Amino acid sequence: MSPRYKLCLLALGLGTLAVTGCDVGQGVKKLGSTVVGGTDVSGTNADAFAVTLAYRDPSNDGTVTPAPIRLVSIQGVRGLNSANLVNECGATGTSCACDFFTSSSDTSPVTSTTVGISSQNNSYSCTIPGAVAPSNYKYVKLKNLNNATKNTGLINIKTVLVIEDVLGTNLTKTNVRGIFGYSCNRTFFEGEGVSAANISCVAGQHLGVISATYNFYTFKSGVDSNLPGSDAAFPADICKRNNFLKIQCTGNTPVLHYGFYLSSADPFVVGITMTRAPEGDNLTATYGFAALPDSSGNCPTGLMKIRPWVAQPASIIPTGPTCPANGCPSSFINSNNSLNNTVVEQNQPSNFIVTRQPNLIACDATTGDCTNAQFNGAVQAESVAYQSQTPVVCAIPPSLLSGLF
Amino acid sequence: MGPKIYGRKAFALLAILLPTLVITACLNAEPKILGQQGKFDFSAFNGSGVQGQFLFNYALQSGTTVGVQGSTNSKSAIIGTCNLNGTSCMCQFLAADGTTVLGSTNSSQILYDESGNYFNCTVPGGVTIPTNGQIRVSNLDGSVVSTAMAISSSLTVGQLIGSDLDANHVRTVYRYQCEYNYLQKAGTSALSFDCSNQVTSCDPDNDSSKSFCMLKARFPFFLYSDSFSNNFASKIADKLYAGGGGTNTICGDEIKQVNCVESDTDSTDAFGTPVKQFGLYSQATGIWQQAVSLPSGPDQPSSSFGYAAAVSTTPGNVGNCPPGLIKRIFFTSTIVTSDITPSNNFPSGLIATEVADPTITPVPFHIGKLSGPGGVLGGSCDGAKCYLPQSTVVAGAKPDQNYTSTGQTAFCVIPGSML
């Protein structure tokens, strides 16, 4: 073999190696705590498309209803202007799109149909199109539609996250507040001597009972917490009867619903006010900060949508055979919204129910003593639909909070 | 190395250099060391070198016109480049590739609206906008050219607000109603009501046992919410007439003065449920300069809900909204009750306010009436106690009263369907 021929072979071999080794987009990236991607071959911004992970929630995979979650979220590097995905994808994300691949050798990717971007979180969301099960797609590539050489390369789509993935490197687990929900039952009355503030023991009073279950929240983090409410009695007997609890909370153990961040720090910037208990000190406080959704309404990577829902029951003025023709007065008076029930949850709760137990046997016809008064079975007085208030905000899902509290 | 370039030494050197080149060329496969380095910031430059100004948010087609909306701080650059009428610029209709020019507007086919900061570009004859067609704005000599934009047939709120404003500050405005119950009985005034037994009928049938009636009227109110705040607390569930001694009873009854939740007579009538209407921007910026004040609930003064865009005053475009926005105007009805007999506590001169399409006058304001059936069965008082009228038939107390928008100025809002 001549030297010329040897040299040609060597150059050809090394050249092939160089092309093979210089992955500008198709190679599978190794994801970790550091960044990956950044394939702006034009060289004007080496940080463009530097991302830390891609994620899809698999919780509904294999089910028909609700539909499997087809949304893939890509987390860009936080805290670095030159790595802002908005630079490449625009404020609404429409200058970019995602290609989804079933394998690293897939040459026929499908392209996202809807996209969104969050500048605060520097994350990008895109939806796997078509009817194919989203779990078939293992990789995603975010690309600039105007310059296909600008892309993230193939990013493995994670289906499991840890809390560090959503907090990034600047936020600490210690400051994550778990939000726990529980309920208390509240008791009200109806009858001739009843008003919103007190009860007069009118002779022959047709005393009845009204009750409703209200929702409250507590929080707990690595540095602080608050406590749920406890049972409370009425300040005095109810016309000689002492077996009514004004508030009954015991037995309703708070359950972890989601998490907020204790202080305002990107992307957790929206303060959420919640109520601890029906009565007591420090009832209402800012429980923490949630994130805002991106330009298409999707939450930043790994976060879940929640929103406040309010049920506003009407004041109850019962009518019926046990009341005078015009109806009984009651203490269930909601003129100042104090009897609204507010929940902060992902989905619209089932209706808020207020029940009545109308009087069966009236109080003493002479003294108004209600010791022997009896009540009918509970009937529904109101079924109130919850109405959403502020738009969706984004919280840390409970699956990422295990072991933190 | 001399002229013997194919020698053993050259071969060895090449073998060393080429792998080095390979390693150097493979930087993108490794995690990056990130820093604040020079970059090309798309938000700061656009088109051919006009810094931070000649920017557009979107292009929206409506028939043979494409509206091209300037971004928040682009007005001075657009006017400086295109003049106040826009005729120093042209709209170029592009193929889906974003570069092939299919046609351009002439001076009669382009109009710049200063107040809304947008162009109306008429599609030139012979030009058909293709699927995924694009558009750009250029000055006549082509020295200043915007980036090409997709021509949309519909918008998201993110596109409409644009890159320089935050869609989380868009306020959704809701409408709901509260039903007021006014007491009608001979001798009643706006400030007083007693439990006396009157023999003056308040029912159209003149039955004197029906001497206590209820006038019912629904007033519209509005709420807003954005990602950071809302005024939903202004919506009360209801309000009871306050009796003497701080009680909530009047002549022995708890009577709702206002009900903002649901009908007393029809549980399916959800007049108190807030219904989405349109959107405003929460801050005065860019085209969002016209403050909109609305009443949020009973006993609440009107307050600012946010900012709308103004309708155009540009000749040839007067009264139109920026592309994608819709026109709304205040309609009011001054409620006259002084002619309703017998006397009642419904003040005359209250004003009901609606916000509607200028071409669609709201349904006239209606005052209904509950009466009877008579005596202790309902609809009378006995000197100590009153028996609430029980009729479920709500008759009109007087002819309905019309709304008018006379003297009002229209404004432009975000369509509710976009929110």
Q: Does B32 touch chain A (CB under 8 A)?
A: yes
Place of tokens 């609890």: A245
pLDDT of residue A320: 66
Shortest CA gap A293–chain B (Å)? 9
Encoding tokens for residue B58?
Answer: 């979107």
Helix residue ranges, H only, B263-411? none
pLDDT of residue B220: 97
**What is the phi-psi region of residue A166: left when phi exceeds 0, alpha when psi lies from -120 to 50, beta otherwise?**
alpha
Encoding tokens for residue A285?
Answer: 């406080």
Alpha-carbon distance of B323 to B119, in angstroms, equals: 9
pLDDT interval class at A100 (50, 70, 90) = very high
pLDDT of residue B41: 27
ipTM of this complex: 0.73
Residues 4-63 of A with CB under 8 A from B: 4, 6-7, 10-11, 14-15, 17-18, 21-24, 27, 32, 34-36, 38-39, 41, 44-48, 50
pLDDT of residue A324: 63
Shortest CA gap B311–chain A (Å)? 26
In B337-393, DSSP assigns E strands to 350-356, 367-370, 380-381, 386-387
Query: How far from B58 is each of B86, B162, B416, CA to CA, in Å?
Result: 17, 8, 19
Buried b (16+ CB within 10 A) or exposed e, A106-124: beebbebebbbbbbbbbbb
Q: How many CB atoms lie within 10 A of CB A41?
A: 14
In B84-129, DSSP assigns E strands to 89-94, 101-104, 110-113, 118-122
pLDDT of residue B392: 66
pLDDT of residue B7: 44
pLDDT of residue B47: 37
Nearest CA in chain B to A391: B227
Q: Closest Cα to residue B123, out of B108, B112, B140? A: B108
What integer best gives the mean pLDDT of chain A? 85
pLDDT of residue A261: 97
Return the minimum-mean-pLDDT range out of A102-116, A273-287, B6-20, B148-162. Answer: B6-20
Alpha-carbon distance of B139 to B112, in angstroms, equals: 13
3-state secondary structure of A14: helix
pLDDT of residue B265: 56
Encoding tokens for residue B331?
Answer: 């309609």
Query: Which helix (H) or strand (E) is A229 found in, with range?
Result: none
Alpha-carbon distance of A246 to A188, in angstroms, equals: 8
pLDDT of residue A390: 75
pLDDT of residue A65: 63
Under 8 Å CB-to-CB from B104, ≥6 apart: which residues?
B90, B91, B92, B93, B124, B138
Q: Does B7 touch chain A (CB under 8 A)?
A: yes
Beta carbons of A86 and B229 less than 8 Å apart: no
CB B207 within 8 A of CB B372: yes
Place of tokens 């006010």: A273
Under 8 Å CB-to-CB from A180, ≥6 apart: which residues?
A217, A218, A219, A220, A228, A254, A255, A256, A257
Place of tokens 């406040």: A308
Nearest CA in chain A to B259: A314
pLDDT of residue B288: 94
What single DSSP character describes residue A89? H
Beta carbons of B11 and A391 less than 8 Å apart: no
Q: Provide the CB-side half-sphere exposure for B101 (13 A, CA).
A: 12
> N- to C-terminal Cα distance for chain B?
74
Query: How many helices (H) and strands (E) are present in chain B, helices listed first?
Result: 3, 24
Encoding tokens for residue B219?
Answer: 């007033």
pLDDT of residue B54: 87
Shortest CA gap A272–chain B (Å)? 10
Query: Which helix (H) or strand (E) is B168 found in, with range?
Result: none
pLDDT at A8 over 60: no
Residues 216-255 of B with CB under 8 A from A: 225-230, 232-233, 235-240, 247-249, 252-254
Q: What is the pLDDT of residues A23-73, one digit of tens each?
A: 333 444 433 334 554 444 445 566 788 898 999 988 878 776 666 688 999
Q: How many CB atoms lie within 10 A of CB B367?
A: 24
Alpha-carbon distance of B415 to B325, in angstroms, equals: 6
CB A39 within 8 A of CB A154: no
pLDDT at A358 over 70: yes
Q: How many CB atoms lie within 10 A of CB B377?
A: 14
Beta carbons of A310 and B18 less than 8 Å apart: no
Beta carbons of B227 and A270 less than 8 Å apart: yes
CB B86 within 8 A of CB B80: no
Q: Closest Cα to residue A115, out of A144, A88, A92, A141? A: A92
pLDDT of residue A23: 36
Q: Which residues on B lie below 8 Å from A121 (Cβ)?
A: none
pLDDT of residue A64: 63
Mutate to test the interface with A, among B6, B9, B22, B28 (most CBs of A within 10 A): B28
Q: What is the pLDDT of residues A160-184, one digit of tens each?
A: 999 999 998 889 999 999 999 999 9
Q: Does B34 touch chain A (CB under 8 A)?
A: yes
Q: What is the pLDDT of residues A197-230, one digit of tens each?
A: 888 898 999 999 999 999 999 999 999 999 999 9
Q: Does B3 touch chain A (CB under 8 A)?
A: no
Can you give the pTM of this predicted structure? 0.79
Shortest CA gap A37–chain B (Å)? 7
Query: Which helix (H) or strand (E) is A86 found in, with range?
Result: helix A85-89
Q: Closest Cα to residue B157, out of B408, B283, B325, B5? A: B325
Beta carbons of A325 and B22 less than 8 Å apart: no
pLDDT interval class at A121 (50, 70, 90) = confident
pLDDT of residue B269: 79
pLDDT values of chain B reduced to their tens digit, one per residue, 419 residues:
333 334 454 444 444 444 433 333 333 333 333 332 222 222 323 333 333 468 898 999 999 999 999 988 889 899 999 999 999 999 999 998 888 999 999 999 999 999 999 999 999 999 999 988 999 999 999 999 998 888 999 888 888 888 778 888 999 999 999 999 999 999 999 888 989 999 899 998 899 999 999 999 999 999 999 988 899 999 999 999 987 666 777 887 788 999 999 765 566 778 999 999 999 999 999 899 999 999 999 999 999 999 999 999 999 999 999 999 999 999 999 999 999 999 999 999 999 999 999 999 999 999 999 988 888 888 999 888 888 888 766 677 889 999 999 999 999 999 999 98
Shortest CA gap A62–chain B (Å)? 31
| DSSP calls for A338-405 | TT-EEEEESSPPPPEEEEEE-EEEPSPTTT---TT-EEPPPEEEEEE--EE-S--EEEB-GGG-TT--
Shortest CA gap A341–chain B (Å)? 12
Under 8 Å CB-to-CB from A306, ≥6 apart: which residues?
A258, A290, A344, A345, A346, A392, A393, A394, A395
Under 8 Å CB-to-CB from A235, ≥6 apart: which residues?
none
Q: Compare B198 and A327 and report the one with higher pLDDT.
A: B198
Beta carbons of B162 and A35 less than 8 Å apart: no
In B282-321, DSSP assigns E strands to 288-294, 303-310
